Structure 1
Amino acid sequence: MKKQLVAIAVISSVLFSNISYGAQSNTIPERENTEELVGLSSGIILGAVVGGPIGAFIGALTGSLIGKSVGDDSEIEAQQSLLSQQQYEINETSQKIAQMNQQQQSLEEVKSELARLKAHQKQTLAELGVGMNVQFKTGSSLIEPLFKQQLDNVAYMMASMPELNVDLMGFADRRGNDDFNQALSEQRLIEVTNYIVAQGIDKSRLQGQAYGASAPMHPDQNVENDFFDRRVTLTLIPESAQLAAN
């Protein structure tokens, strides 16, 4: 029993002296060996108790292997934690890229819709430019329902395009005397102007003049031509063009 204790003391002294010397000589590898050292010392003690000097040697070897295994497991866990963090960052980046792609798609849709609206406005302007006359019955300044829809379109264009103004001209046919025709053309002009203003358009954007029967559309007077002469003509004018003219 005394021999076993002596052997344990000798082996422990030698091993721990080597451990201490290794720490002082700075020859420890980059990887931490704490687990191996713990396993080694624990193995020595356990082996010595169980099997004497030989048991101490075997225990030391077994303890070293156990300690190395523990160290490897810790390194694996560290690598797995790092991989998990990297995977999380990759997922975050992928989500951000997906959001950016969705925002880009939404922007393209907005651009497409804006282009469609501009094309629609351009088409409406062209249509209004073709038929911008409000016709009236003989001796009347009442706006017929058919032409109210046309004036609604004019008001819509003016509301959506603040730089757009309207020039109005009132006329009468050649029947009746000049004073009556002049007054009738002025009243028709007033009715059309008031209707557009009632749709929310500032009156300052509307300018007009009445001409009576002084500007017939056709040289010959007949029932058909008189119908086209009883009118208020509307002309859309961009503000820039109006300023340039002044």
Structure 2
Amino acid sequence: MNIKQTATAFVAGASLLTLSACVTDPNTGEQRVSRTVLGGAGGAAAGALLGQVIGGKTGRLIGAVGGGAVGTVVGYRIDQQIKELREQTAGSGIDVTETDGGSAILVNLPDGVTFATGSASINPAFQRTLDDVAANLVRYPNSLIDVYGHTDTVGSRSFNQRLSEQRADAVSRYLISRGVNQARIRSQGFGEDQLRVQTGDNVNEPLNRRVEIKIVPLSNEEIQQARQ
């Protein structure tokens, strides 16, 4: 699959207030207000504020639900999925963080272990780790998945743009080959347009070479509306 579309913002004016009960964050052990996205009365409002997705969220959600790609997980918590991803990828170089104000997940695949220099072929030694990521995405089907490719500024802009697209597409296709429904996934290459660090010293440049997997959870309300 090779889908490259301009990411569009999905903006709503509702407040991101979900369940008010306090829970223990499995990542920190701290008590805080629950960020549960699914199953609550505030699910629709929360879903409306879930950042940007490639090509727009509404059409993709309808297509994914219609194609049977999206399910629901009873009692789903985004922090639990983050915890599992971190445990499954520990020691691999993958960085798992929250994004969009804690309403989505960003999985950062480092260039040095994911791809050889200038290549869009996934290193065989890294495939087992990607298998674990794919298994997690299959286990939590109630989300849309964006895969972003990024490069540094070494080489021509046109080469970097093409390489970023090829790498994002390679990761997308690998996840699909491991059971992630392709209707949930879109990929896009940004080339050198979204640098993490501004540098030309070739020391910190590797930080700019990365593929990111963004996981955007969906609410039960959104899924039910799409089914109608």
Report the TM-score when normalising by structure 2: 0.49
Bigger Rg over Cα: 1
Greater relative CO, 1 or 2 (CA 8 Å, sep 6+): 2
Higher strand share: 2
